Amino acid sequence: MPAKDSTSGTILIATILCVVCSLAVSAAAVALKPYQVENAKLDQKKNILDAAGIPKDELGKPASELTSKKIDSLYTWIEEKMVDLDTGQYNTEFDATTFSLEEQASNPKTSEPIVGDPYDNGEDRRPKTMKVFIVRHEGEGPIKQVVLPIYGKGLWGTLWGYLALKSDLETVQGITFYQHKETPGLGGEVDNPNWKSQWDGLKLYDDQGDPTAYVAKGPAPDDDPSAVDGLSGATITSRGVTALVQYWASEQGYGPFLETLKKQIEEEAAAAESPSSAGNATTKAGA
């Protein structure tokens, strides 16, 4: 055993300390992993609910101020569905509970190149299949909204978020970004509640059906129903948000699915108004 005050003794003690600390950190990381996963799932639910405006409408406060129990309760309004982006049809082969957008988008086997013409979100690839979120009041009745995962390049990296549409599928309900690298106080203002509130009621398409929602350069024109205020000092981030929203609203993104969903909403509405439905409702009421 070398002397403690010798060079070899110092190196030995330092090595032992490094090994012990590494083992402690590794053990802590393994032990905390389940909690990190659960917290990530909870954060996802909060962003989806906030995009849909459910916590604010029902309880008068954002999801961040609610307990996990209340979040889980409100999330029963949400139905997770897998969608083939090319056909716009539901895909029942994928398990929505294990779907990872980031993994699917980066895997060449589960994604395809982004053409970039005429719409471009700045990314190289998009998943062939995406998870979407159907909203019904307390999980029942007609479809009230749909929440769509969106992503695209900002100034410093990819912005990941959710875009919620009202039941006409042409009007924005809300938008949230749960992960990004934008500069605090500039591009990072995509998290600002006041700025996000401007998206509620925004017109997503023009009269020809082309994506038209955008972030203006400076204040949004008062007579433009498709514009929100620009992010001060964050021109590139503003352009990135415009590009990613228009891309995912286009035929290259969710366009085919929104057509499918529109038909589903119309069919459900027709079925609810049919004489047989009315007769069943009367029978149940009489019983």
42 touches 68 (CB < 8 A): yes
CA angle 229, 239, 199 (to 5 degrees): 40
pLDDT tens digits for range 82-94: 999 999 999 999 8
Q: What pTM was estimated for this model as a whole? A: 0.85
What is the band of 25 on the pLDDT scale with cuts at 50, 70, 90?
low
What is the band of 192 on the pLDDT scale with cuts at 50, 70, 90?
very high
Q: What is the largest CA-CA distance in the chain?
A: 95
Q: Where are the domains of the chain?
A: 48-270
What is the band of 9 on the pLDDT scale with cuts at 50, 70, 90?
low
Q: In degrees to the nearest 10, what's the CA dihedral of 239, 128, 175, 33?
A: -110
Q: Tell me how far apart the alpha carbons of residues 60 and 76 are, in angstroms, rounded to a whole number.
A: 18
| pLDDT of 278 above 60 | no
Structure tokens at 267: 């069919």
Q: State residue 35's pLDDT score.
A: 58
What percent of the chain shows pLDDT beyond 70? 88
Nearest to 159 by CA among 256, 238, 51: 238
Amino acid at 128: K
Q: Tell me how far apart the alpha carbons of residues 102 and 2 are, in angstroms, rounded to a whole number.
A: 51
